Amino acid sequence: MSATSGDSTRAFEAALADLRKDVRNVALPGLAAAYLGLAALLVLPLLVPSPWVFALTWPLIGILQYRVVISGHEAVHFTLCPGKALNEFLGVFGQAIVGVNFAAYRLQHLDHHRARDLASDPDGHIYGGIINTPRGWRRTAVWIGGTFVEILVKIRQKGTGGYGTHRAQKPDEVSRRRRHTAYVVLAQLTLMALCGLVLAGHRGVDLLATSPLTAAGAWTWALHGVGGYALLWTGPLFTVAVFLNRSRILVEHGLAMILERETNQEFRGVRIPTVDIVPNVVERVVFSPFLFNYHCCHHLFMTVPHYNLPRVRALCREYGIKGYYEVEGSYLSALARTMRV
C-alpha cells in the first residue's frame, strides 16, 4: 500500500475483512444454469435431424464448458459456494467432466499465486511463448496455434497426468491426486458413451441394440463413441473453452508483463504481474464468468469471494493500493494491444 495514515490503513483493512466474511450463495444459480444448458445442447441433435446442429451447438457448448472450468477456480479457493463439502464436490465433479484433476489443479494454482516471474509461474507456458514472440502476425500465430501445445501440457500437468506441482507433496495429496485422476477417466468414458448414443440416435442407429462383442458391433460403438465425443465434447472444449481461457490469461498476465517491459513500470506488486479489465456485459459473460476480470484484485486479496471483487477494486482505487493496475478497454481491445505492443 502507498504511504497513507494509520487511520486509512485500518479503515482499508477493516473494509477488506468485512468483504472476506461476507459469505453468500451467489454462484450456484448461474452454475446450475450452465449445467442445464450443457445437458440441453448435448441432447439437441436427437431432436434436430440436420447435421448443422453440431456447428450450432459447438461454440455454445464451449462457452458453457469454459464457465465450468472457471467454477473450478472458485472451488480451489473455497469461494464457489457456502459449505466446504458442496464446494469440494462441485470442484471435483466440474473439473472431472472438463478433463481436469481437481487436486492437481489446486496444487498448480496455488503455485501460480506464489509465482513472482514467468519462469516460476506454472501457467507461464500459456502466455510466455506468446509475449516472447515478435509482435504482429508471428505473435498472433503463436497465440492461436499454440493452443494445441497448451492442451498437451495441461493434460500432463492437471489432466490425467495430474502431477500438479514439482514441490514435495504429502502422502494424502498424492493419494487424492490419484483418486481424482480416476474420476477424470471415469467422467470422460461416461461422456464418450453418452455422446456416442446421441450421435447414433441422430443418425438413426440403435446403438443399444448393437452388440459390441462382434467386430462390426465394436466398430459401430467405437465410431459413434469417438465421433460423438469429438463433436459434442472435446472439440468444443479444446477449440473454444481452452482458447477463451488462453486469451484471458494472456491479457491478465501476458499484457501486464509486456507493459512492464515496454514502459519500465512495475506491474507486479508483491507477486507476478497482473491487471484488471473492466469489460462490457457481453465480454463479461463470455470471457470472465465469476467476475474473473478483476484478476489483479484477486491476486492481491485472493481470499475475498469473487462477488465482492468489484468492491475490492473500488477500495484499491480509493486507497491507492500498491500493485493494483487496471487496463482500460475491453478484452478484445486488450488482446489487440497485446499483439501489437
- Four-residue CA torsion sign, 80, 84, 87, 88: positive
Q: Please indicate, yes or no, if residue 274 is contained in any of the structural domains.
A: yes
The alpha carbon of 339 is separated from its chain's Cα centroid by a whole number of angstroms, namely: 22
With a cut of 70, say whether residue 3 has pLDDT above it: no
Q: Please indicate, yes or no, if residue 135 is contained in any of the structural domains.
A: yes
- Determine the pLDDT at residue 163: 77
For residues 126 and 250, is the Cβ–Cβ distance under 8 A?
yes
The Cα 105–Cα 177 span in angstroms is 9
- Determine the pLDDT at residue 265: 67
pLDDT digits (tens, 9 = 90+) for 132-154: 999 999 999 999 999 999 999 88
For 167, the grid coordinates are: 514441490
Q: Please indicate, yes or no, if residue 1 is contained in any of the structural domains.
A: no
Structural domain total, the chain: 1
With a cut of 60, say whether residue 119 has pLDDT above it: yes
- Determine the pLDDT at residue 1: 46
The Cα 16–Cα 185 span in angstroms is 41
Which of 97, 34, 103 is CA-nearest to residue 75? 103
Q: Please indicate, yes or no, if residue 141 is contained in any of the structural domains.
A: yes
Over residues 282-306, the mean pLDDT reads 94
The Cα 13–Cα 265 span in angstroms is 26
User: What region does 272 belong to: left with phi over 0, alpha with psi -120 to 50, or beta?
Assistant: beta
Q: Please indicate, yes or no, if residue 155 is contained in any of the structural domains.
A: yes
For 213, the grid coordinates are: 462383442
Q: Which domain holds residue 271?
A: 6-340
Average pLDDT value over all residues in the chain: 92
pTM of this prediction exceeds 0.85? yes
For 339, the grid coordinates are: 499483439
pLDDT digits (tens, 9 = 90+) for 65-117: 999 999 999 999 999 999 999 999 999 999 999 999 999 999 999 999 999 88
Q: How many CB atoms lie within 10 A of CB 6?
A: 7
Q: Please indicate, yes or no, if residue 37 is contained in any of the structural domains.
A: yes
Q: pLDDT band at 162, cuts 50/70/90?
A: confident
The Cα 307–Cα 26 span in angstroms is 7
pLDDT digits (tens, 9 = 90+) for 178-204: 999 999 999 999 999 999 999 999 999
As a whole-number percent, the residues of the chain with pLDDT over 90 amount to 75
Over residues 26-48, the mean pLDDT reads 97
Give phi and psi for 213, each to the nearest 5. -85, -15
Q: Please indicate, yes or no, if residue 85 is contained in any of the structural domains.
A: yes
pLDDT digits (tens, 9 = 90+) for 166-175: 788 888 888 9
The Cα 188–Cα 159 span in angstroms is 11
Q: pLDDT band at 157, cuts 50/70/90?
A: confident
pLDDT digits (tens, 9 = 90+) for 254-289: 999 988 887 766 655 557 889 999 999 999 999 999
With a cut of 50, say whether residue 2 has pLDDT above it: no
Three-state secondary-structure class, residue 277: strand
SS3 labels along 245-273: HHHHHHHHHHHHHHHHHHHCCCCCCCCCC
Q: Please indicate, yes or no, if residue 12 is contained in any of the structural domains.
A: yes
Quote the longest CA-to-CA distance of the chain. 79
